[in-house]
Chains A and B, each alone.
Chain A
């Protein structure tokens, strides 16, 4: 076996540093990583390679619930080209991990609790060798009963999946006096709604390269959303101090919440430390479906009471989320679902109970919208139902109850700053509707069914639907949420240069661009370099919760301000200027537009560096009645969907999606639009196409053949109106942008489908069967074509058994 001689570094490492000349904030600046991304030179986490590198692979359980009696590794170990076969016995440190509750085995022992749970690892010279070695491992499983839904898990006598029981968290919110309010309600509507399991389906598969340093430590180059929370968990499970587990962000091919939990990180490091060789792990698409958490499926029961004039009097809701086999971020997701369960409306009285339970289904956790997506479908469906019962226009009803500045949420928290719910709805109402009612002879490509030639317009009905949604920005419930930025201003041969160093993950959203724009704006320097994100600087928190521009952008801004203050003190001293009147422009210090001194001159050979930690306002946990100022701030969006439905075949063409969103301040308008359009597409997917189908704990469609993502044919034009109503507490007044579109799109699409078909459609994604009234649920028969699920990756014997 050849061993790596020295500490090698990957041939090309990740996405930076990139020096460029960004515009300031408010400009649609091009991405600094754009050129390598269009030429194919940008290095994603799956693109790294090193001489002498091994390929890691993961054996996963074919059973959703089983006891492991024994494992026979001997055949795998004896295979030529296999360099290591590891099990839970080889985990050097803590054998479990988890962001909030460490309950998930790094490698299973004794029990497996979901199909696809990692059981053993192999490192080999060639990926095919590794795969064959996996196939030769014998695991003796005793198959156990499957707890296949949250209701089942919470029922009396259900098998307990964890020592703490099956209930992961119950969030209870009591607001006002719902009992007394019931008497005042003149109209009551009830509804039950359900939402399936959505996948983040980022295109870049889970991957990374672990490189041993020859001194017992390891460097990991990986695609993730939060380097430091990975580092914490890695240090625990590898039994190493933090400084011996160093992480660098490599190119991330999308994330959407699915990279917040660990996937291959500990595994690759274990194999690398064991073999003393660099080890790369790259999941394929099927494995990716098993390798990360998904959006929680959710069942909701709602009751809304209102006066005859349409004023909401009370809301009762019970929400049950399926957390899957391990905790992930379920406890935070369920609290979000509960806090936003009444929607962006004035609801004086509410009784809300949200539960999340362990089951033997795939673990669920963070996905764009984080709990708010589920409930928005519930409360917006209810608002439409109520409008219908009252004979009111659905927009009118929403306007009448729209939350505004000063409204109190069911948690008692008062909305500070603009809450432009009514404005957003008005904007939508003003937008012209697209032409051409359903039907009439048109281009086949513009009809439901497209060139399948299923209709020439007959049976096609148009529908229009609206929805509005909101959620928190940043981490809530007392979490110590902060971001760190190190900024350095120096003079190079090319003039002044600002270097920005943070650990914040660029996942595609354009954070690196915005960081540079902020530095450019604050320091008036043309050349900005964004250094690669790594753990050599303090944590930036996660690229999630629509928080990164707010938190890390805010940290960069503060660091620049600190540099500016130091600089101006020097200028004041040396040039006798009043520091208050000084500003930075085009590489010079000016006072009231009058040139004072060039940066080159004042800085000389002495760069100024500042490291600053940015914290948002303190938040607080909820008390036993669910009361407390749990959130930092909120972001709002509204959607209008226009659909054509072939009501005989249940085929749909979304004609247009229009949206209005308040972003506080658009730091990079083009990137903001990109976030809105992308989030809207994922919302369309959830409404119509995307569901991981799980039957008795088994995933039936772990492939892009069977899990359907919206294509360019499915996505209609998106008409976008962006409002910039400054959030008084935020850097530049900005609000998070990424999640809201994903929240208000799905209910708008379903409302349009209801409008076209007159059917109730209580479940998302809406299938053709439901549109024609055959069934509202998924088909009972197992789909035949394509993937048969993870059963194919068990041992040969097990494959034969199937």
Chain B
């Protein structure tokens, strides 16, 4: 099938998509956007998190066809012209990145959290990020990153 959707603000099309492919597969293998990751492919790790029409989803659980005509934003679409998004900057600065495989998912999930709740408590941060696994950091520096980003982004 042919798939068309808006990805990171651009109209994109993919040809010869097999009906069983996930949105994650199409992003990674057909649209040249491998930033969203493939750690579990079953909705357990959050490494594949993207926005679909403004709602955060595990793209490994979304069939490609479900994305037809929708608006997708991936981790590659978060940095602005002027450089990194404050969330990305904060992950770098606090040491929230080690191997980095979980990072795209955490960046998208944090971006989503702070857009809904600009001043989250630690308990709220933990709850919001409970669907994202990280095997390297022990989460301490990820918490630091979210707190820092929240401080910087609040007016």
Contacts and interface: CB of A to CB of B under 8 A. Distances in A.
Contacts of B44: 285, 703-705
A232 B23 CA distance: 39
B38 A715 contact: no
Contacts of A712: 125-126, 129-130, 132, 134, 139, 142-143
B137 interface: yes
A40 B139 contact: no
B93 interface: yes
A709 B18 contact: no
A253 interface: yes
B88 interface: yes
Interface in A655-679: 670-671, 673-674, 677-679
Contacts of A680: 138
A41 B29 CA distance: 14
Given A670-B95, A704-B40, A704-B42, A41 B76 contact: yes
Interface stretch (A25-33, A115-123, A358-366, A625-633): A25-33
A37 B103 contact: yes
B57 interface: no
Given A38-B103, A712-B139, A128 B20 contact: yes
Nearest to B28: A47
A41 B41 contact: no
Interface stretch (A398-406, A506-514, A564-572, A753-761): A506-514
Given A38-B92, A711-B130, A678 B98 contact: yes
Interface residues of A, number: 61
B34 to A, nearest CB: 4
Contacts of A47: 28, 34
B83 to A, nearest CB: 9
Contact of B95 (A33, A253, A282, A673): A673
B3 interface: no
B85 to A, nearest CB: 8
A416 interface: no
A625 to B, nearest CB: 40
A204 B39 contact: yes
A203 B98 contact: no
A673 B44 CA distance: 27
B123 interface: yes
A251 B132 CA distance: 20
A445 B95 contact: no
B98 A510 contact: yes
A202 interface: yes
Contacts of A37: 97, 100, 103
B37 A285 contact: no
Given A47-B34, A681-B138, A35 B84 contact: yes
Nearest to A55: B29
A42 interface: yes
Interface in B18-61: 18, 20-21, 28-29, 33-42, 44-45, 47
Contact of A38 (B39, B88, B137): B88
A253 B100 contact: yes
A507 B134 CA distance: 14
Nearest to B103: A37
Interface in A499-531: 507-510
B107 interface: yes
Interface in B99-137: 99-104, 107, 123, 125-127, 129-137
Contacts of B141: 670, 673-674, 677
Contact of A709 (B37, B125, B133): B133
Contact of B140 (A255, A510, A717): A717
A204 B38 CA distance: 7
A37 B141 CA distance: 15
B38 A256 contact: no
A273 interface: no
A713 interface: yes
A285 B39 contact: yes
Contacts of B76: 39-41
A41 B28 CA distance: 12
B61 to A, nearest CB: 13
A484 B59 CA distance: 42
Nearest to B95: A670
Q: Which of the listed residues B74, B101, B132, B143 has the most CB atoms from chain A within 10 Å of its own CB?
A: B101
A549 interface: no
B99 A39 contact: no
B18 A126 contact: yes
Nearest to A443: B123
A253 B139 CA distance: 16
A677 B138 contact: yes
A43 B28 CA distance: 11
B101 A44 contact: yes
A49 B135 CA distance: 26
Interface string A187-226: 0000000000000111111000000000000000000000
Nearest to B108: A40
Contacts of A637: none
A34 interface: yes
B98 A508 contact: yes
Which of A30, A671, A681, A717 has most B Cβ within 10 Å? A681
B72 interface: no
A251 B100 CA distance: 9
Contact of A203 (B35, B74, B95, B133): B133
A46 interface: yes
Given A204-B101, A285-B39, A39 B135 contact: no
A692 interface: no
A715 B45 contact: no
B153 interface: no
Contacts of B107: 38, 40
Interface in A678-697: 678-682
Nearest to A53: B29
Given A43-B34, A203-B37, A671-B95, A715 B139 contact: yes
B38 to A, nearest CB: 6
Lowest 4 CB-CB distances: which A-B pairs, in order? A40-B35, A508-B99, A37-B100, A253-B101
Interface of A: 28, 30-31, 33-35, 37-44, 46-47, 49, 126, 128, 200-205, 251-256, 282, 284-285, 443, 445-446, 507-510, 670-671, 673-674, 677-682, 703-705, 709, 711-713, 715, 717-718
Given A680-B138, A712-B129, 16 more contacts: A30-B92, A38-B97, A38-B104, A41-B35, A203-B45, A253-B100, A284-B38, A445-B127, A670-B94, A674-B98, A674-B141, A677-B139, A678-B138, A679-B138, A703-B44, A704-B39
23 contacts: A28-B95, A34-B100, A37-B100, A38-B100, A39-B76, A43-B34, A44-B37, A44-B101, A128-B20, A202-B135, A254-B101, A445-B127, A508-B100, A508-B101, A508-B136, A673-B95, A673-B141, A677-B137, A678-B137, A678-B138, A704-B40, A704-B42, A705-B44
